[in-house]
Amino acid sequence: MSRIEENLRTVKARVEQACEKSGRAAGDVKLIAVSKTKPVSMLREAYDLGCRDFGENKVQELVEKYEQLPKDIRWHMIGHLQRNKVKYIVDKVCMIHSVDSLRLAEEISREAVKHNVTVSVLVEVNVAGEESKFGVTAQETLPLVEQIAKLPNIVVKGLMTIAPYVENPSENRLYFEKLKQIYVDIIQKNIDNVSMEELSMGMTGDYEVAVEEGATYIRVGTGIFGERHYLTV
């Protein structure tokens, strides 16, 4: 068995355990294979093992991989997105997880209209209030969701967060709980053109805790493809 196959089995088994522990159905958690920096050959291997959801954080890399791989892949843009690059991915992605401003949402809406597509997005929330991270505050979330809901060809499907890097994953439980609470509060507002269905939270270090707290998407990179090696210039 290859490393990737072994890793995928481990992740899926752990997700199942976390679901069992928290009384959830394993089918309610979707695994995004975060393939940033990894070569197309590795994505192809994951694809052949059944992966269809891939996560990338750079526009150019996503587009290059999109062109080389089968068209039934669901691409997730999970990284900070600059407005001038929206046009390159708006008709290629299944979901944009990282919407954190009205101006970005307006650009997505404009390009979606141009390309005659509807784009599903998540609002990124900086639940832990870390200086170094993108995302809106807890208080800014509902107002942003309400404003995006008025734009054409863009639909808010839920929320996303990147939890802090911690030694012990259970330290992030309160942030996952908090994101879930914001999500539930928004559902109760019954806003037109908002269908809160997805909570994108949990990475290699903490996905089991995220699943226990209600994640519907987990974003796992290292746990599937191994450590990333960034070239330093």
Binding interface with ligand PLP (CB under 6 A): 34, 36, 57, 78-79, 162, 203-205, 219-223
Taking the least distance from each CB to ligand PLP, the nearer of 169 and 223 is 223
Q: How far apart are CA 206 and CA 202, in angstroms?
A: 5
- CB-wise, 151 or 224, nearer to ligand PLP? 224
Closer Cβ to ligand PLP, 19 or 32, answer by number: 32
d(CA 19, CA 11) in angstroms, rounded, equals: 12
Q: What are the contacts of 164-169 at 24+ separation with CB within 8 A? A: 164/128, 164/130, 165/205, 166/205, 166/206, 169/205, 169/206, 169/208, 169/209
CB nearer ligand PLP, residue 10 or residue 222? 222
Nearest residue to ligand PLP on Cβ basis? 221
Please state the closest distance from residue 34 (CB atom) to ligand PLP, in A. Answer: 4
Question: Residue 219 Cβ, how far from ligand PLP at the closest point, in Å?
Answer: 4
How far apart (Å, rounded) are the C-alpha atoms in residues 186 and 141? 9
Nearer to ligand PLP, 110 or 219 (CB): 219
CB of 56 to ligand PLP, least distance (A): 9
Please check whether residue 97 is in contact with residue 160, taking contact to mean a CB–CB distance below 8 angstroms: yes
Q: How far is the CB of 204 from ligand PLP (least distance, A)?
A: 3
Minimum gap (Å) between residue 132 Cβ and ligand PLP: 13
Cβ 176 to ligand PLP shortest distance, Å: 14
Please enumerate in sequence order all residues whose Cβ is within 8 A of that of 58, keeping only pairs 6 or more positions apart, or say none.
36, 79
Closer residue to ligand PLP, CB minimum distance, 115 or 178: 178
CA-nearest of 193, 196, 128 to 164 is: 128
**Structure tokens that stand for 188 in this block:** 């109760």
Torsion of CA 82, 84, 85, 87, to 10 degrees: 130
